[in-house]
Structures are given as C-alpha cells and as structure tokens.
Amino acid sequence: MTATRLRRCWQTFAKKRPNFQIFRSSESTRLWKIAYFSVAAFLFVSSAHKRFSLPQYPLADSDVGFLWPALMKLSGGAFKHIQGLNFLYPGMVYLALRIWADFRAISVIQHLLGLIAGVLFLASWSRLADFFPKPRLNRVGHEAIGLVGASIYLLSYGSVFFEMRIRSDAVCMFFQMLVLWFVVEFFYRRVVFVNLRMATLYGTGVAISSFVLASLKPSFTLVALFVMAPVMSLTLSAKKNFTGKLTFFFVSVPIILALTLTEHFLRRDDQSVKYFLPETLFAIHAKIIHAQMDDDLNNGDTNIYPREWLQIVCDDLGTQIQRTHGALPVLGFDPDSLMSTGADPLLKRWRSQLGDDQFLRFLKYWYWRSVAHRPLAFAGKITRQLGVFYSTDCPAFSVHKKFRLTPWSYDYSLSALSHPQTWALLTVVPGGSAFVERTKALCSSDTVIRQKRSIWMCNIFCARSYLAILLVSVPLAVWFVFKRNNSEQRKLPAFFVLLFYTANFGNVFGVSIVHTMEVDRYVAVLFITALFAHLWAIRWLVELGLAKRASLMPADTLYYNPTSEHREDS
C-alpha cells in the first residue's frame, strides 16, 4: 500500500513537474531574446561599418540608360527613356541627386536598402517558425539558423559590391526579400493565424512589389508570376471576403496600371525598345542561327534574301563566332562582339545595309526559322545554361576571400564616365565633376571588400551543397504536399520549400531562354533568394529528421516538451 501511494505521489509530482520547467523555459526564452537581439544588433552594426567604411562614390556602368535620364533632367532637359530600360531606377537616381546633389547619396541609399533586406530576411525567417505546428527543433535553433543566414548575406562581398553600382541590380536583392516577406506574412495571416483583412494587405504588397521587381529587371517576370499565382488563388477563393477582394484589386491594379502607363508614355520615343530583344535573341543564339543559314545555303532555300548577300552574312557571322570562340565556355562565343564590341559590329553593319524595318524583319525571321527547324539545339542551349546555375558549385555565392575594386571596377567606371555625352552632362550637373575626379583618384587606390573566413567557408558550403540539398528536398516536398493524410499546416513548410526554389528557377529559366547565365550579374543577383531557399530546405530536412528519430524512439524515452504543452493549453 505504501509503495502504491509513493508511486501515485511520484506520478502526481511528475505531472506537476513541467510547471517548474515552464518557469525555467520562460526565463531561458527571455534570455535568448536578449541574446538574439544583441547578436542581431552587432551583426547590423558590423555590416553597416563594412559598407560605409568603403568609398561611397558609386560605380558607373556602360549601360548609360541607368544614369543619363537623371543627368538630362538635372541639366535642364527632359527625363528620357534610354536603351529600353524601365524608368523606375533612373527615377530613383534622379530623386537622390535632386535632393542631395551628391553622387554618394546613390550608394548610401542602396547600402541602406541592403541592410533593410537583412532585416526582412530575419523577419521572414522568424515568421516561418510559426508554420510548424509542433516543431522538433526549438525556437532557439531555428532563430540561430536565421542569424547565420543573415550574416552570410550581410557580410559577403557580393551584396556589398552590387549596392555600389549604378544599375537596377543594386536594389533587386532588397525587392526580392520584400516580396518573400510579403508572401510569408500573407500565408501566415491567410492560413495559420487567419486574419483576412491583414492577408489582403500583405497580398496587395505581394502584387505591387512583384510587379516593381519585374519592372526593374525583366528576368524576374517568371518569378513574379510564380509568386503571384498562389496568392491570387487564395485571395479569390476566400469565403465571406468580398470587401477584401475589392480592396486587393482596387489598390493593386491602379498602382500597377499607373506604373505601366508611365512606362509606356516615356518609352514611346525610345527606338531601342523595338530592337533590344530581337538583337539580343539573335546574338545569343547566333551559333544555332549560323548553322541554319549554312544549311539553307547548301540546300538552296534562299528565296527571301539574295543568295550572294546571304552567303557574305553567313561567312561574316561564322568568322566572328570563331574569333571569339571560348570567350564564354558554355555558350561558346561572345555575343557582345556581334552587337557592340569593335569599331564595326556585325548587327550595326547589317542594319545600315538593310534599313531599320528590313533589319528587324531579318532578325525575327532567322530566329524563329531556327527555332522551328532546330528545336533540340535550342533545348540543349537552355539545358546547358540551367547547368551553369544548378551545378555542384552554385555561382550565386561569394566563394572568394576578398574582392578587389581596384583597378578593374573603378577603371571600368571611369571609362563609362569618360563617354563624351556622359562627360558633357556631368560638367553641368552639381557634384558631377567631383564624382569624376574622385573616381580617377580611386583608380590608383587599394580598395578591397573582404569577408571573414567564417563567412567565406559558409559561402563555399552553400555553393557546394546547393544542388544536393535541392535534389533531396524538392522530391520530398512534392510528396509531402500531395500526400492526402497530411494536414494543411503540415504541408505549408514543404510548400515553402517548393515556392522558394521555384522563385529562383523562374529567374534562371527565363535568363536561360533569352540570354546566358554566364553573365556574372544574372547569377550574383540571385544570392539572397538562393541563400534563403537553401537554408529553408536545410531547416525543413532537419525537422523531418528529428521527427523521424522521435518516431523510432520508445515512448517512455521521449523528451517531454513542457513549452509546447503550455502553448496548447493557453
């Protein structure tokens, strides 16, 4: 009887024991929050120092459409649309120079947006913890992974270098992270902690920020569509939310329409809009098009163009491709040599010979004829370009210990500023002459962006494990999402694995179709989303591993988690 009473007393004590653990858990949670915000604050101070200790004079680019509209407007002219580039980024440059009259303001603004992207990274990561109904990895472990990810992004040289450039890529990482944050918050308010009013607000944010991102860099168009599809579906399928649906459309549609009409109005006199895409498609696929031309000449199928002239065109094209053979190893040649490099580029010569309309018809005819007759060649080109990114050493990550800005970056910037028309505009713009003089001085300096050994090693790990983690996590996530006996909340973490990876794929696939992934900026601009997707896939696989381990353990050896019980009771 005594033994029975003792057993009952122990059982009663064991049931009440978690109350003391809850007290200790809440105390450790409070300590962890203090530690977390202290580490985060130190991280942002360090990353801010890293950015603002560098010269703040930005790096000019040979694509003058990012800078000229602002300079023209500041010098008393009209804000012109140039090189087919969207007006949003040049408009930002104009506002910065108009308010501060100092070119350093461009770098400062872009650095600040880069730091805000780090904040959004941590905020999105922290919110994702709430999508696990009963997490096996505690909150401390989850948040620690987020801090590591934010550190990799903020302290790597890739993101810092992008923020110093005068081109739209400099702000794309910020907008990528803004879109992901809106998406995560939308799903949280729509599925987990249901608040349709807030879900509508975040859904509207997804629509507008996705459109802005695609406008800044058209290679993100597929990304915007992939992200918007589930958001639109859940918004339209929400019951008893007619007001929310109206709000979504009456806020997002007018803003998107206003941006679209402004762009259409400004680009109406920009002749390069008509030629940019056809010239790019022809130049990038010149090797395939040359093979088709050669076949047509051999088969006598040259009714549209004079055979003699077409033979000269084919020979010149083949010679130029052979001359730059190996410049881009995967593509096989340098497409820029056909469009802009040299004193007399081929496309410019053909345009003068044919006239504008006939030249445009020529480009389109040979591109689409080659697509129709050589689909496997085009499919092979796309596959090889996808392989540039999805390799055993993903190029999106900063895998070098340091990145030198001198001499190459500042020499290139000075060369762009030395363009006669750019120079003429800078001499009449406040701060323009100082910008040029300071860039000249920086060409002979020793400016280096360094990253710590720990960040360098993290980048190498991410680059070399990216493809392996993707190949493991994506099939598992597909199975998890479509498994019938899984609840909606259990499916959501797996769904995010697919969504984040798909967002990256949309950009890579779009570039692989139209251009080449061997252009550094097309790869490096995906750094933040590639990192976020990679870490989330690892986090999800860890959760699956811990859950599998717990299911194999005997019931009486499972660790009792008082925090989760307390949360459920409350």
Three-state secondary structure string covering 527-559: HHHHHHHHHHHHHHHHHHHHHHHHHHCCHHHCC
Give the model confidence (pLDDT) of 123-178 as tens digits: 999 999 999 988 899 889 999 999 999 999 999 999 999 999 999 999 999 999 99
Mean pLDDT of 245-249: 90
Share of the chain above pLDDT 70, in %: 91
Mean pLDDT of 19-29: 52
Mean pLDDT of 557-568: 40
Shortest CA distance to 275 belongs to which of 347, 220, 221, 346? 347
Which of the two residues, 563 and 442, has the higher pLDDT score?
442
Count of Cβ atoms closer than 10 Å to residue 533 Cβ: 26
Which of the two residues, 501 and 565, has the higher pLDDT score?
501
Lowest-pLDDT range of 277-281, 304-308, 415-419, 554-558: 554-558
Give the model confidence (pLDDT) of 522-558 as tens digits: 999 999 999 999 999 999 999 999 988 877 766 544 4
Give the model confidence (pLDDT) of 66-121 as tens digits: 999 999 999 999 999 998 899 999 999 999 999 999 999 999 999 999 999 999 99
Share of the chain above pLDDT 90, in %: 71
- Amino acid in the structure at residue 529: T
- In angstroms, the CA 226 to CA 503 distance is 7
Q: What is the pLDDT of residue 19?
A: 42
Asked whether the predicted pLDDT for residue 15 surpasses 80, the reply is no
* pTM (2 d.p.): 0.90
Tokens of 393: 């050493």
Tell how far CA 86 is from the center of its chain.
Answer: 17
Q: What is the pLDDT of residue 26?
A: 62
Tokens of 476: 């598992």
**Band of pLDDT at residue 341, cut at 50, 70 and 90:** low
Residue 179 CB contacts under 8 Å (≥ 6 apart), including other chains: 206, 209, 210, 213, 223, 224, 227
**Band of pLDDT at residue 11, cut at 50, 70 and 90:** very low
Mean pLDDT of 311-329: 92
Tell how far CA 284 is from the center of its chain.
Answer: 22
SS3 308: helix
- Write down the mean pLDDT value for the chain: 89
- Amino acid in the structure at residue 472: V
Shortest CA distance to 280 belongs to which of 87, 523, 519? 519
- In angstroms, the CA 451 to CA 405 distance is 14
Q: What is the pLDDT of residue 361?
A: 94
- In angstroms, the CA 219 to CA 134 distance is 38
Q: What is the pLDDT of residue 557?
A: 43
Residue 415, CA distances (Å) to 39, 83, 123, 434 in order? 42, 19, 41, 16
Q: What is the pLDDT of residue 60?
A: 95
Q: What is the pLDDT of residue 491?
A: 87
Give the model confidence (pLDDT) of 452-508 as tens digits: 999 999 999 999 999 999 999 999 999 988 886 766 667 899 999 999 999 999 999
